[in-house]
Amino acid sequence: MYTRRLSFVILVLLITGCVEYVKYIPDPEKDVEKWIVNFSQQRSFSYHYRLKAASVFTEAKGDCIIGQGEHIKGRWFSSDSEMAFEYIGLRDIEYQKSDRKWVKSARGEESDIFSQIQRLFKFDKFYYMGGEEDYVYHFWANIPFLAPGRWKEMVGILKVSKKNYLPSVIWTGLPDSSVYLEVELYNYNKKKTVKSPVECWYDYLLVVSPDKKKEIARRLKLIGVKHRLKKKGAALLLSLPEYYTLDDVKSILSTRSLNVYTVVEQKEEAQRIGYLKDDRKNALYLGEKLFSQDDIKGVKIKFDGASKPYFEITLKTKSYFPEKVAFELDGIIQYTATLDINRKINKMRLYTDMSFYEMQNIRASFLQPLPLIGVKPSKEELN
């Protein structure tokens, strides 16, 4: 079920202050797939993790900023010993506390509970069982490492909160609970910070006029990237924590484009033909351009009543809009929307299937445009 890619659904833009928002009415028999997708689009969460295996029991608590990192602390228990542990995972790097020192390595699952949860969701079917405080689902789990000889007996329980429609408990194990994995999830979308325990910076030469230093610094601040920036001859030298890669830097500083067009019914009325998701089977007849990122005054990322994130876009001026519009991001038609409004507006919601971190990058690029910037590693150290 979850492994099937969601088919495209025409999005309806809700115009702030102009129409009454439709209250979300959940359907637990059908909406669990949507709720699982929403989970991956959240900003952050906290968790309580328990794992009981044949000879060891583990209990830990942690915080996760999705797409950024996790900080987890807990204890291992065996029949004759007990040991504390602490991990910090940041992108592809993991730091483990050992003898009061931090040891760096490639990131593993010890500091990536989010990936473990994602894997638990990759099953064919969730069976709705009812529930009072939560929506409760049964699924057939397949986690061989918990019980290698009895993995076919594994079962799973998923609880989804009726307050925010997000997972609250995930349990999987043998029916007799002799082995199990349980994760409680809470405190969604709180502003959290996962800091590197070791200060190590990588430097990048930005091939751009030093006059752009202020704009680049603002772009980084909007995303929340810790950085150092200084002039270097006719260019700029940017230093970032070691867990950011060259591709990350290029993405963070990239030039993005947004264009919104009228969608018309007849080919004769079109100014050009576009293709939804660049799929030649989904042609759209595009009329005049309605606005671009240059017409945007403000962008916020918010969550609706079903915990689905969206952009709230504020335009510089109010305008009349046609019934149907298409959103083109970076040259590709990503979404269409049907409007039901007959007055001038300057605010709208735009829903996407991006992660929250991707949405942060898009928001920053619209609020702080940048010219094309060349990026390459620099050997100069700023430490």
Query: Where a domain ends, among 146, 165, 186?
Result: 186
Total domain count, the chain: 2
- Establish if 378 belongs to a structural domain: no
- Establish if 141 belongs to a structural domain: yes
Q: Summarize pLDDT for 112-163 with one digit per residue, the tens.
A: 999 999 988 887 689 999 988 899 999 987 776 776 777 678 889 999 999 9
Assess whether 356 and 262 both reside in one domain: yes
Assess whether 72 and 182 both reside in one domain: yes
pLDDT of residue 10: 33
Assess whether 177 and 265 both reside in one domain: no
Assess whether 45 and 166 both reside in one domain: yes
DSSP per-residue codes, 163-219: TTSSEEEEEEE-TTSSSEEEEEEE-TT-------SS--EEEEEEES-GGGHHHHHHH
* CATH number of the domain that residue 109 is part of: 2.50.20.20
Assess whether 172 and 267 both reside in one domain: no
Assess whether 277 and 361 both reside in one domain: yes
Strand partners, 138: 127, 157
Q: Summarize pLDDT for 248-302 with one digit per residue, the tens.
A: 999 999 998 899 999 999 999 999 999 998 999 999 999 999 999 999 999 999 9
- Establish if 292 belongs to a structural domain: yes
Q: How many Å apart are CA 333 and CA 329, to the nearest integer? A: 6
Assess whether 357 and 265 both reside in one domain: yes
Contact 84, 58 (CB under 8 A): no
pLDDT of residue 7: 32
Query: Where a domain ends, among 129, 152, 186?
Result: 186
- Establish if 231 belongs to a structural domain: no
Mean pLDDT of successive 10-residue stretches along the chain, which has 383 residues:
35 39 84 93 97 91 96 93 95 93 93 91 86 92 73 88 96 91 96 92 96 97 95 95 95 92 93 92 94 94 93 93 90 85 85 90 95 87 43
- Establish if 17 belongs to a structural domain: no
Assess whether 47 and 176 both reside in one domain: yes
- Establish if 143 belongs to a structural domain: yes
Assess whether 146 and 268 both reside in one domain: no
pLDDT of residue 22: 66
Assess whether 174 and 263 both reside in one domain: no
- Reading the block at residue 374, the tokens are 């060349």
pLDDT of residue 217: 98
Query: Where a domain ends, among 186, 210, 239?
Result: 186
* CATH number of the domain that residue 333 is part of: 3.30.1360.200
Q: Which of 194, 226, 198 shows the shortest CA–CA distance to 67?
A: 194
- Establish if 329 belongs to a structural domain: yes
pTM of the model: 0.86
Assess whether 179 and 294 both reside in one domain: no
- Establish if 210 belongs to a structural domain: no
pLDDT of residue 23: 79
Assess whether 181 and 324 both reside in one domain: no
pLDDT of residue 12: 41
Q: Which range marks the domain in which residue 92 is found? A: 32-186
